[in-house]
Amino acid sequence: MTTALPTGAPVGVMDVGGSHVTAALVDPAAVGAVDREAGAAIDPHAPLGVLLDQLVGPARSLLSAGPPRGWVVAVPGPFDYAAGTGTFAGVDKFRSLAGVDLRRAFAERLDVAPDDVRFCNDAVAYGIGEWAAGSGARAPRMVCITLGTGVGSAFLHDGVEVSTGDRVPEAGEVHRLTIDGRPLEATFSSPALRHAYRAAAGRDRTVEEICALARQGDRLAAEVVDRAARALGTALRPWVERFAADRVVVGGSIVRSWDVVGGPLRDTIAPDVRTDDGGPVVAASLGTRAPLAGAAVAWSRVAGHDDG
């Protein structure tokens, strides 16, 4: 028997990363405030049963406060968000989950009906969170770019994803773009920055270390970061202009070095626009809570009562 879900309860949200999962309870009417939160490491290469238990572990730990009104899971692609299944093709993770009915699997482990479990793209959830409660400031037309081991994106019109039409890249995914004939992520991503620095300096550094060196005036590090950021901005600018974005929010782990990366990105994405708050290209402000907030908004919309 599944648990009846109360209508006045918070929404349960989960953010699935490559090596970590976070679960939280969020009031969809105040998505900037996360009520309770729990996280745990996961092994993305674990067998199916083990990995499923790892994924729902933090969520189950929150159930002592009472059942939420539903669950929404922010998960990376390739994924069929309506069906609740993913192929994860081209991704060296989650192979045991490929083709599995995750809606049913999560519902069984969370003691709810399958219809009470929903899914959304993690990068889109991040963007919606920043739009609703962060640096997006509910801009009418907003682009959110998340920079880390890859490049995620969300094109939002009044906080709703736009993934089709000639004003956005294919599927609204900028990682499909190319720079000088190479995938965008081969120029700007954590692995790409580390590779470029290694080629220039002959030694390996983390992205945080490279940005710290650039901040301290190291010429090689500054050139590596500046060149990559300007290339990224140049690739994004035509789509930002085509979408007529009022605001571009940049999130992900690279935001910790925004003082190094932000300048060249602003100079190439919106070189002719400046405002008192730094212009239309701004750093995300919610950090890891952005996809949790965005997932709660996404749940509300599917549920038919937009509280976001």
Residue ranges and CATH numbers for the domains of the chain are 11-124+290-303 (3.30.420.40), 138-284 (3.30.420.40)
pTM for this prediction: 0.91
Tell me what pLDDT residue 254 has: 87
Tell me what pLDDT residue 78 has: 86
What's the CA gap between 259 and 84, in Å, rounded? 39
- What is the per-residue pLDDT across 255-283, written as a single tens digit (0 to 9) for each? 899 999 999 999 999 877 655 555 699 99
- What is the per-residue pLDDT across 126-179, written as a single tens digit (0 to 9) for each? 999 999 999 999 999 999 999 998 899 999 999 999 999 999 999 999 999 999
Q: Which residues of 164-188 are buried (b: 16+ CB within 10 A; e: fewer)?
A: eeebbbeebbbbebebeeeebbebb
Tell me what pLDDT residue 71 has: 95
Tell me what pLDDT residue 282 has: 95
Tell me what pLDDT residue 307 has: 47
Query: Which residues of the chain are under the pLDDT cut of 50?
Result: 1-6, 305-308
Tell me what pLDDT residue 274 has: 55
What's the CA gap between 102 and 256, in Å, rounded? 33
What's the CA gap between 255 and 41, in Å, rounded? 22
Q: Are 125 and 291 in contact (CB under 8 A)?
A: yes
DSSP SS3 for 117: strand
- The closest of 170, 153, 172, 152 to 162, measured between CA atoms, is 172
Tell me what pLDDT residue 244 has: 95
191 backbone dihedrals φ, ψ, rounded to 5°: -60, -40
Tell me what pLDDT residue 273 has: 60
